[in-house]
Amino acid sequence: MHAHPVRGLASLVAASLLVVTMSAAQALAQTEVHMLVSFDESAGQNTEGMAIDRVGAIYVSVSPLGDLWRIPPGSTQPEPFGHVDGIVPSRDFGMLGLAVDVFGNVYAAVQSANPDAVGVWRFDRGTGNATRLPGTELIAIPNGLAFDKHMDLYVTDSFTGAIWRIPWGGSAQVWLQDPALTGDGSLGLFLGANGIAYRNGLFTVTNTERRSVVQIPKIGGQPGPISVLTNLPPGDNPDGVAMDVHGDAFIAMNLLFGVNFSIGEIFGLPPGPGPGVFWLDAGVPGLPVP
């Protein structure tokens, strides 16, 4: 198994949306990056999650404000799409990970000390009206979101080291809780399971404080044994993750306490030298990233 650094930033950096364009053949050689949309960080528009629907619309969460923005296909003009009330920027992480279902409805994970705000929210594809999914108000820090092929939604709980499952049309329940998904306190946050992605019966999950990427097979609807895909060097803290059709994982990595801008500011952590993305070949788990 090998991990290769991708040249150039490919994440939401300094409240801006960047786009990475590359083919498989170009992935290791060069990456073209250009700015698509800029947000006003001075107005608290710190971007966090991103999801793309089947027609190419891009959805972006502005974490401390609880705002969800939509960028129409072919456009560079973001437009307000949804909102969750009750988030306090100086207290809460706010709106974090996003996902889109096959019908085009958008889902957002929200952390807040306000019991009326915390949970996973579904935004109607047409109106943007928000509805909280039942049972998700019990999740401590809802963070990453991923659908499986049955349209069940899986949610990481970064504080309790758990993955919750929300059956289509049902209520959220803990699907898996394991020490490998907990934080170790190294950032002073106890921030464990963060990003989550699903492909071909396999979940890939990042653990921010433990600097690990783990994989969990889904066997008969239940979690199989956890394997460590890689452990990252000190100072490299993985955040979001996506998987391609080959099962390769692409990890958004924040360096030196740069967990993300909103979390760093809330907890007074020093900013890191900058986030980035690396490519992790799906292969034999347990080998370190060079």
CB-based contact 177:165 (threshold 8 Å)? no
Reported as a pLDDT band with limits 50, 70 and 90, residue 212 is very high
Reported as a pLDDT band with limits 50, 70 and 90, residue 40 is confident
pLDDT tens digit string along 174-197? 999 999 999 999 998 899 999 999
pLDDT of residue 1 exceeding 90, the answer is: no
Q: Global pTM? A: 0.80
Which uninterrupted H or E stretch holds 233?
A: none
Nearest Cα neighbor of 166 from 132, 125, 205 is 132
Which residues make Cβ contacts (< 8 Å) with residue 222, sequence separation at least 6? none
User: What is the model's pLDDT at position 268?
Assistant: 35
Structural domain boundaries in the chain? 3-280
Phi then psi dihedrals of residue 266, to 5 deg: -60, -40
CATH T-level assignment (fold) for domain 3-280: Neuraminidase (2.120.10)
pLDDT tens digit string along 242-255? 888 888 888 887 65
15 HSE (CA, 13 A, CB side): 14
pLDDT of residue 114 exceeding 50, the answer is: yes
pLDDT of residue 226 exceeding 50, the answer is: yes
pLDDT greater at residue 264 or residue 140: 140
Q: What does the mean pLDDT of the chain come to?
A: 81
pLDDT of residue 235 exceeding 70, the answer is: yes
Could you tell me whether strands 162-166 and 130-132 are parallel, antiparallel, or unpaired per DSSP bridges?
unpaired
